[in-house]
Structure 1
Amino acid sequence: MSDYPTIPNVYGPGSHTDTGFVPVPQDTERIFRIIAKETPGFTQDEKLLSKVKFVGDDFPVIPGPIKAVPIAAALHAMSGVVADEILAIRGAAREDRTVTVNTTQAGFWFATIGMAFVDGEDVVALTRAKKLKPLLPNYEQGWVDTPLKYRGTALYPTKNPETWYSVHGSLNAKPLLKSLGVNPEDPINTPEEAYEHIKKFTTQKSPEELEFNNLYNGFCGSICFTPEAWNNSEMGKALAKHPFVNVKQQAHSVPTPRIAFPPFNPNDKRPLAGVKVVEMTRIIAGPQVGTVLSSYGADVIRINAPHLVDINIMQLTLNAGKRTIAIDLRNPEDRAYVQSLVRDADVFVQGFRQSKLEKYGLGLNELLRMAGERQKGIVYVSENCYGPDGIYAERGGWQQIADTAAGSSYVTGRSLNLPDNECVLPSLPVSDMTTGILGALGAMIGLRDRALHGGSYYSHAALAAVNTYALRPEIGLYPRNIVDECAKRFQWAEMRGAHHVLDLLVTVWDGWKRVFGDVLREDSGWFQTFQNSAFDGKRLSFLKPVVSFDKGDEANPEWRSPSVPYCQEPKEQVQFK
């Protein structure tokens, strides 16, 4: 049991609420020390740990009781510490280098997909004015082009008045809606009407019936568990066996020698300059792994399958510093190309279901065998919903599923004092984004250790692990008076189970604009700007990396090229630099 003082069950069974309030930067320092101590292989050298400095607003800047910002800020700081270690290995040590993380910026970072400007206009305003869509190549295949499809992803009451259920359309809601008895072609005019219509069907089924329907049909979804119920479940117990930052040397693979980092290019002294990364991911969590690595200097080639749905707006930010190509692994020529690319890579990042890539020769064991043959270890990074093993390891899932499974949605709903145990998603894609920095940190630890000890490494980052960790007793939750004070300060609009994460993101943005209007300007110094982009040649700005070193440090994280659309370059023209 933790000796950190908390009050049990304030936000439901298994929740742990702080007895008082500690300013966010100070609390982040405490949580940083906890995660650092618990992470196998992470330095315990006080000289390195003391390089970290947290600054920012004293009070929380996102809704709800969950300490999402301190956890993410701590992980970013850990990536900065590992980056500093890598710089030392590469002959660029600096005793006086600091690793600074602004916790307020870490809060903004959760909204990365909305933290961009195109020719000086923020993307939320552009979206509302219907001016953004024409700028973006369309990969959405109509995933939310009707109100019913849009509300095909939401939290719904069930026949059991005590238990809600997370319904998820998985970017193709029609089959799911049909399985519930809903006609996707019904003439529904508004999202509000759509939610009430679908609710008529979910309230006719028990949570168990909804769960079996999803399992039988292969859909995504989850009962909205309390933290206690999740921790007592077989899934929760399996995940609890793994460290939060989960990276392991693959001792069973063919031994490979130590691999030195390449010599620095005189024009690029960032920690990962020259490191080669293949990224095969979708949506947010997986792409965020590559985006963090590219900010530290890695050469990231992102692979998209044009026949799979992705979300258009994310092209503006989650491809920063990358090159992108189109690949269909069902095509033997494309498959051979990817395998040749991976043979030259240092890191492979994948965000598909467990075992999905094995039939294409891109599973963990296949790449470990390849690494043995080439006598150069590889760092394999996977992200998924439930974790690397356990009964649901191969089950599909998204941020919303992890939020509800592990208890975050239950806790959030209780903090809003809603009736009937109504559950509400955390207001931003917290678990997606945090999973991204988890995976990137694991990759960096693997690269560091490959240089020091040789071998290959496996890093696994799970959406449910992010939620589970945030609800641990030694982390704690914010007291009700702090949650209420935050709501009063930002005047958040209503947040309900019906709301999609995109609805909630806009709600948070509007609150931030009321309080941080001067900061949330393109010229505030918080954003990186590229005068020309692949989006009609327009100026593109997005939030700077969360970690910063000292002013003037040549190793400072930054992106050297703007985001580009998915599948931007012909694969024949793309090789590692």
Structure 2
Amino acid sequence: MAAQYSVPEATQRVLDQGIFKNPRLRHNIPEGAAEVAAKSVKFLGNNQPSVPVNWRFAKSVSALKAYEASVLSLLIQKKYKADVGEIRIDTDHASLFFMTPLIAQIIGEDGKPKPFSPMDPNTYKIIPNFDKHDTAGLYRGLATSIYKSRDGRYFHLHGSLNTDPTLTALGLPIRDPSITQFDAAVARIQGKVEQFDSADIDYLMNEKYKQAGCIPLTKEEYFSSESGKANYDAGFYEITKESKPSSALRPLAGLKVVDLSRIIAAPAISRSLAEMGASVMRVTGPDLADLSAVHHDMNWGKWNSHLDLKKAEDKEKLWALISEADVIVDGYRPGVLEKHGFGRDAVFEAIRVRGRGIIYVRENCYGWHGPWVHRSGWQQISDACCGISMGFWRAMGLEEPITPIFPNADFCFVISTGIRGCVGVLHGLIQRAEQGRSFGVDTALNYYSTWLAESVGEYPADVWADLWERHDKSVFRHYENMKKMFATVLPAMFQKDGKTLFQPQFFEVRKAEAIGATFVFPKPILQFVDKTVDLHFDVGTRGNGIDAPVWPTDLNVEVVKVDV
């Protein structure tokens, strides 16, 4: 029976019913997008799923990329009076989208590709290490995982970019060189977590120590929660307008984007815009920690500069960038940029005099309504919050929440934050062209996770049974983090699904001239059959702080330098 299942056909249903006809989303879908998709988008690929997770990740990303394609095509129609023609999406190819940091390769001195390991000290000369607080170490790394609490419920700890507050809150030493084994590290942290009731440790981490973390919920529990109710009608993203009033080949060419973000989700938004031709200046602080393990993937198409917003002269430089920008991406915890004077309202007011609006995108975890707006959050936290982790353990026959293997919410979120945030920008650009105002776009990891849980869902039981059987029925535990899961799942996928997922035509070679490296990455998911749109990155990837924080006269320059 499982053999009769078709991933491309199921994806088409998700696009039609789960997006365009979804009553939760229809209020924010651009008029004409559904008609464009019906005319132009075609799905193909293997009938059987390949990624060994019960949630239908491949369908979600494929449908979201189709939605992105329809809104991009709509913008091209309105701006250039051009028809992009047929757009093909291979669902097997799309399955690679949420694992790109893990499957990237680098061309070695012998001219042959080999896996790129961003945590290998030998690669730091290519991508500098900004893990300033050793979050990848064994003991400190396991401050990000799920543990059982005293009342029998579980709690998802998260060490964020600095695990010191998490370990301190638990009464543990911030470092313990005596712990060298995985099980010993788990036991040490579990022994502390189980001294707390779940509600108490939730308050301790989120409200007192300002660290990410949540009690894993079923999807029913989340939707009945105060936060779930408050954000239910948000859809993929919310667009608000200010209260006061290129060629089709590279549809966003000339568009300037200031990227104020770290980690994965928000940087994925600006990366998608760069792929469409936008010029992106990413700005981080020189002393801020960052997830440099994904910079080889997330920083394609972007210049990367440093500014210290504690310094008046650096604030002036950021205002100079914003004064010429069309889009700002804010990926920090709500309120952080407001504290420095660069919140949405301040930017809207400052650019009013220039005569054209700006799109200001904000991304958070929990959504922009309800009691958890202020909380810090990551993809794993969103999975736990919205029932995704609970669904994964049930599929494996266990009774404990387990984080699914891949960072689906980060990417799906414009890959969903990473696809939906991008779509929100495209939608905002259409409205800006028609109305001449500034627009705000708000999106959240939970906006994707709730859509996945409610509108995409899990594989039918027989399809999941077959998929799980084909991958040796691997079972994970609540305390096993992604790093440990990857070591099991990725080799199995290369062995069992290599001919389906890792087809040579799905990949391309990219040169990163700024760092003197050549990589192999998956090609853009959207394939325009008539070559009417050319998706690529004009600027190679790099680490943080390489470029000067100014807009260059030539937007095709590889490295931005200050004119002497």
Tell me if both proteins adopt one fold, taking TM over 0.5 as the criterion: yes
The correspondence for 1:504, drawn from 468, 480, 485, is 485
Cα drift, residue 307 of structure 1: 1.4
Is the contact between residue 28 and residue 73 of structure 1 (CA under 8 Å) also seen in structure 2?
yes
The correspondence for 2:98, drawn from 95, 104, 110, is 110
Cα drift, residue 424 of structure 1: 0.7
- Partners in 2 of 1:61 and 1:487 — Cα distance? 9
Match of 1:98, as an amino acid?
E
Going from structure 1 to structure 2, the CA distance change for 1:452 and 1:110 (only over 3 Å counts) comes to: same
- Partners in 2 of 1:463 and 1:319 — Cα distance? 20
* 3-state SS in 2 of match to 1:471: helix
User: Paired residue for 2:194?
Assistant: 203
Q: What do residues 441-484 of structure 1 show as CA deviations (whole Å, max 9, x unaligned)?
A: 10011112211232222111211121111111x43321333223
The correspondence for 2:9, drawn from 14, 26, 33, is 26
- Partners in 2 of 1:305 and 1:477 — Cα distance? 40
Q: What do residues 226-269 of structure 1 show as CA deviations (whole Å, max 9, x unaligned)?
A: 1111111111111103122x2324152x21xxxxxxx44xxx83
Q: Which stretch of the first structure deviates more once superposed, 178-187 or 388-397?
A: 178-187
Superposition map of 1:152-171 within 5 A:
152-161=143-152, 163-171=153-161
Going from structure 1 to structure 2, the CA distance change for 1:575 and 1:568 (only over 3 Å counts) comes to: farther
Give unmatched runs, 5+ long, in structure 1.
Answer: 1-17, 256-262
User: Paired residue for 1:227?
Assistant: 219
* 3-state SS in 1 of match to 2:262: coil
User: Paired residue for 1:563?
Assistant: 541
1:294 aligns with 2:294: no
Superposition map of 1:373-412 within 5 A:
373-412=353-392
Cα drift, residue 126 of structure 1: 4.2
Cα drift, residue 296 of structure 1: 0.7
Is the contact between residue 115 and residue 122 of structure 1 (CA under 8 Å) also seen in structure 2?
no
1:548 aligns with 2:527: yes
- Partners in 1 of 2:299 and 2:291 — Cα distance? 12
Superposition map of 1:130-169 within 5 A:
131-133=122-124, 135-144=126-135, 146-161=137-152, 163-169=153-159
Cα drift, residue 309 of structure 1: 1.2
Q: Which stretch of the first structure deviates more once superposed, 544-553 or 326-335?
A: 544-553
- Partners in 2 of 1:164 and 1:67 — Cα distance? 25
Going from structure 1 to structure 2, the CA distance change for 1:55 and 1:160 (only over 3 Å counts) comes to: same
User: Paired residue for 2:171?
Assistant: 181
* 3-state SS in 2 of match to 1:507: helix
- Partners in 2 of 1:343 and 1:217 — Cα distance? 36
Is the contact between residue 2 and residue 462 of structure 2 (CA under 8 Å) also seen in structure 1?
no
Q: Which stretch of the first structure deviates more once superposed, 423-432 or 189-198?
A: 189-198
Cα drift, residue 77 of structure 1: 1.1
1:311 aligns with 2:291: yes
Cα drift, residue 408 of structure 1: 0.8
Q: What do residues 399-440 of structure 1 show as CA deviations (whole Å, max 9, x unaligned)?
A: 11111111111111111112xx21110110011111211111
User: Paired residue for 1:9?
Assistant: none
* 3-state SS in 2 of match to 1:188: coil
- Partners in 2 of 1:197 and 1:321 — Cα distance? 42
Is the contact between residue 279 and residue 290 of structure 1 (CA under 8 Å) also seen in structure 2?
yes
Is the contact between residue 406 and residue 468 of structure 1 (CA under 8 Å) also seen in structure 2?
yes
Going from structure 1 to structure 2, the CA distance change for 1:91 and 1:379 (only over 3 Å counts) comes to: same
Cα drift, residue 47 of structure 1: 4.4
Superposition map of 1:394-543 within 5 A:
394-418=374-398, 421-434=399-412, 435-472=417-454, 474-491=455-472, 493-518=474-499, 524-531=504-511, 533-535=513-515, 537-543=516-522
Cα drift, residue 520 of structure 1: 6.7
Cα drift, residue 128 of structure 1: 8.7
Q: What do residues 499-540 of structure 1 show as CA deviations (whole Å, max 9, x unaligned)?
A: 22233344332222113435776x9132231345333x2322
- Partners in 2 of 1:551 and 1:149 — Cα distance? 50
Cα drift, residue 104 of structure 1: 1.5
Match of 1:196, as an amino acid?
A
Cα drift, residue 91 of structure 1: 2.2
The correspondence for 2:48, drawn from 59, 65, 68, is 59
The share of aligned pairs that are identical, in percent, is 27
1:78 aligns with 2:56: no
User: Paired residue for 1:7?
Assistant: none
- Partners in 1 of 2:263 and 2:70 — Cα distance? 28
Cα drift, residue 488 of structure 1: 2.6
* 3-state SS in 2 of match to 1:111: helix
Is the contact between residue 256 and residue 324 of structure 2 (CA under 8 Å) also seen in structure 1?
yes
User: Paired residue for 2:347?
Assistant: 367
- Partners in 2 of 1:375 and 1:129 — Cα distance? 49
Cα drift, residue 132 of structure 1: 3.8
Q: Which stretch of the first structure deviates more once superposed, 113-122 or 71-80?
A: 113-122
Match of 1:75, as an amino acid?
L
Cα drift, residue 108 of structure 1: 0.9
Cα drift, residue 83 of structure 1: 1.5
Cα drift, residue 134 of structure 1: 5.1
Match of 1:526, as an amino acid?
F
- Partners in 2 of 1:128 and 1:328 — Cα distance? 26
Going from structure 1 to structure 2, the CA distance change for 1:562 and 1:503 (only over 3 Å counts) comes to: farther
Going from structure 1 to structure 2, the CA distance change for 1:234 and 1:104 (only over 3 Å counts) comes to: same
Going from structure 1 to structure 2, the CA distance change for 1:510 and 1:241 (only over 3 Å counts) comes to: same
Q: Which stretch of the first structure deviates more once superposed, 150-159 or 496-505?
A: 496-505
Match of 1:563, as an amino acid?
T
Going from structure 1 to structure 2, the CA distance change for 1:125 and 1:79 (only over 3 Å counts) comes to: closer
- Partners in 1 of 2:550 and 2:324 — Cα distance? 16
User: Paired residue for 2:558?
Assistant: none
- Partners in 2 of 1:229 and 1:123 — Cα distance? 44
Going from structure 1 to structure 2, the CA distance change for 1:491 and 1:297 (only over 3 Å counts) comes to: farther
Match of 1:248, as an amino acid?
I
- Partners in 2 of 1:361 and 1:130 — Cα distance? 37
Match of 2:281, as an amino acid?
I
User: Paired residue for 2:36?
Assistant: 48
Is the contact between residue 367 and residue 444 of structure 2 (CA under 8 Å) also seen in structure 1?
yes
Going from structure 1 to structure 2, the CA distance change for 1:82 and 1:146 (only over 3 Å counts) comes to: closer
Going from structure 1 to structure 2, the CA distance change for 1:511 and 1:131 (only over 3 Å counts) comes to: farther
Going from structure 1 to structure 2, the CA distance change for 1:276 and 1:573 (only over 3 Å counts) comes to: closer
Is the contact between residue 263 and residue 290 of structure 2 (CA under 8 Å) also seen in structure 1?
yes
- Partners in 1 of 2:553 and 2:264 — Cα distance? 24
Cα drift, residue 311 of structure 1: 1.9
- Partners in 2 of 1:356 and 1:126 — Cα distance? 32
* 3-state SS in 1 of match to 2:234: coil
Is the contact between residue 492 and residue 507 of structure 1 (CA under 8 Å) also seen in structure 2?
no
Cα RMSD of the aligned pairs, angstroms, is 2.5
- Partners in 1 of 2:498 and 2:121 — Cα distance? 22
Cα drift, residue 53 of structure 1: 0.9
* TM-score normalised to structure 1 length: 0.88
- Partners in 2 of 1:306 and 1:483 — Cα distance? 46
Going from structure 1 to structure 2, the CA distance change for 1:154 and 1:517 (only over 3 Å counts) comes to: same
Cα drift, residue 574 of structure 1: 4.6
1:91 aligns with 2:80: yes
Going from structure 1 to structure 2, the CA distance change for 1:440 and 1:71 (only over 3 Å counts) comes to: same
- Partners in 1 of 2:166 and 2:102 — Cα distance? 28
Going from structure 1 to structure 2, the CA distance change for 1:364 and 1:576 (only over 3 Å counts) comes to: farther
- Partners in 2 of 1:466 and 1:123 — Cα distance? 33
Cα drift, residue 325 of structure 1: 0.6
User: Paired residue for 2:88?
Assistant: 100
Give unmatched runs, 5+ long, in structure 2.
Answer: 556-564
